[in-house]
Amino acid sequence: MVGSLAGLCGALLLGACVGSSSKTAQTTPQQPPPYYGPPGYPQQPYPNGPAGPMYPPPAQQPQQPQQPQPPAARPLLAPLIGTPAMQQELRGVLSELINALPAQKQALVRGIPLVFDPTPEVNAYAGCDEQGAPFLAATAGIFDAVDAIAQTKATDELFGTRTYEAYTSAVLPEMSRNPSARAGLPAGIIPTNLGPDLRRWSRAHELFDEILAFTFGHELAHHYLGHTGCAKGQSPSAGPDPARLGRLLTNIPVFNQFAESAADTEGAMNALDAGRARRPQYSWSEGGGVYLLTYFADIERLGGGGGPLSLLSPVQFLRTHPNPLARVPLVQTVARTWHLQHPG
Q: What is the pLDDT of residue 315?
A: 57
Least confident of 25-39, 48-62, 218-232, 296-310: 48-62
Q: What is the pLDDT of residue 325?
A: 84
Per residue in 69-116, pLDDT (tens digit) is 444 567 899 999 999 999 999 999 999 999 999 999 999 999 999 999
Least confident of 12-26, 233-247, 282-296, 299-313: 12-26
Q: Is residue 274 within a helix (H) or strand (E), and if so which, with residue range? A: helix 257-277
Going by C-alpha positions, the residue among 147, 146, 140, 112 that lies closest to residue 249 is 140
Side-chain half-sphere exposure of 134, counting CA atoms within 13 A: 29
48 in Cβ contact with 25 (< 8 Å): no
Whole-angstrom distance, CA of residue 62 vs CA of residue 163: 10
Q: What is the pLDDT of residue 74?
A: 76
Q: What is the pLDDT of residue 180?
A: 72
Per cent of the chain over pLDDT 70 is: 67
Per residue in 133-143, pLDDT (tens digit) is 899 999 999 99
Q: What is the pLDDT of residue 40?
A: 33
Least confident of 14-18, 28-32, 328-332: 14-18
Measure CA of the first residue to CA of the last residue in the chain; give whole Å. 45
Least confident of 37-41, 187-191, 297-301, 305-309: 37-41
Strand order in the sheet with 124-128: 114-117, 134-139, 124-128
161 in Cβ contact with 197 (< 8 Å): no
Q: What is the pLDDT of residue 44?
A: 34
Q: Is 257 helix (H, G, I), strand (E, B) or coil?
A: helix
Q: What is the pLDDT of residue 214?
A: 98
Q: What is the pLDDT of residue 279?
A: 86
Q: What's the whole-number mean pLDDT along residues 156-185?
A: 91
Per residue in 205-257, pLDDT (tens digit) is 999 999 999 999 999 999 999 998 899 887 766 666 666 655 445 444 345 77
List strand residue ranges (DSSP E) for the chain, in order: 114-117, 124-128, 134-139
Sequence-distant (≥ 6) Cβ neighbours of residue 92 within 8 angstroms: none
